[in-house]
Every structure is written in C-alpha cells, then in structure tokens.
Amino acid sequence: MTEIVIIRHGETEWNQTGRFQGHSDVPLSEMGRAQAEALGRNLMLDHVDAIYASDLIRAMDTAAPLAARFGLSITPDPLLRELHFGAWEGRTFSDVNAESPNAMKRFYNDPERVEIPDSEPFPDFQKRVAGRVRAIAEQQRGKRVVIVSHGASIRILLADILVMPIRSIWHISQLNTAVNKIRFEDDGFAVVTLMNDTSHLCAENVL
C-alpha cells in the first residue's frame, strides 16, 4: 500500500482578496505562514518518506515546516502547479464576473467548455496533475508521501480518483492547508480515505 497525503497551500493575500492565482508566484500571507507552522506541528503522522510540492513559493513554504519536522528535503515539481488561468490571472473574481458573466457561469458549471484566453484547458490540467500524482505513487510504492499543491489541482485529482466528471470539481471544498489522503494499492486502485481536513488548525485558532 502507498499513501499519498496531498495538502493545499496556506492562505495568500490573493486568497483574501479573491484573485485568480494560477501560475503567479504569490507568497503566503501572515495567516498562511501561521497555518503552515500549525500544519507542521500538528499533522497526525508518525513518519513521512518523501515530500513533494508545486514549485510555486506558496506551496514550497507550506511544505517547509513539515520537511523540517521530518528531516526531509522538498522535491519541487512544476507538474503539481495550479491551473494556468491565462488572461484571468491576477484579476479578481468580481471583476471577471462583471466583464464576462457568462464565462464565469460556465467556469463553475461546465469548466471543460469555458474559454479563458491563453489558459490551460481543464482536461489537460487533469491529465497533468493526476498523471503526475499517479506516477509519484508508483515511484514511491509502499511509502507515505506528502504532496503540497493547490485548490483546483487537488479538486481535479480527487475527481479523477473518484471517477467524477470535471464539472463536479467545485462541489469539493478545499480550505487552506486542507489535508487529503489517498491509498493506492499495488495494482493502482485508489481509495480516498480523508478529505478537506483542517483539524490541525483548530487548537491554534488559525482557521
């Protein structure tokens, strides 16, 4: 059995202000740094064999306290990045909605068909993230691996594991530093055993 523990990064200022982040390299906010520290202290794991993260700073810095706790290095991986939002990156949800209400409606209800200039198509995004996580599970067979990634990346991975249509991804909540666990059997069959858990934040009131 292989266990993948996949975690969303901590809060950023763009999370606070409702901006599309995508591949923009936005750092953690003060709250995000506190969340990462609480994750590192309180995550209920007795050991970790390897840690991977999206190479964007918000994911790398979220992984750092866990890496320090377990004495591991972090493997940065651009294939674990967030969706590339193209022309929407850096813009607020409200501004995009005011300009293109039909596009925003399609983004939430039928993302496979949404047309965002210069963006990454959702089916390609799913192949990138789910394919990379499955490859890591195969490479690290029999081990426990932590991956720190992004909200949409984790949602679209879970949709792949649960054989859900891509249009379902926004029905899955992923809070900042949410912990999810996936068990991979030796034949590749995968089971989600935990989703969107933030109990590591509760004791320190950094939700």
Active site residues per annotation: 9, 82
Whether 11 contacts 176, CB under 8 Å: yes
Q: What are phi and psi of 66, to 5 degrees?
A: -65, -45
**Residue 149 CA from chain centroid, whole number:** 3
Whether 88 contacts 116, CB under 8 Å: yes
* CA dist., res. 147 & res. 181, Å (int): 10
Residue 88, token pair as written in the block: 């929407």
Helix ranges, the chain (H): 13-17, 30-42, 57-70, 93-99, 101-109, 122-139, 151-161, 199-202
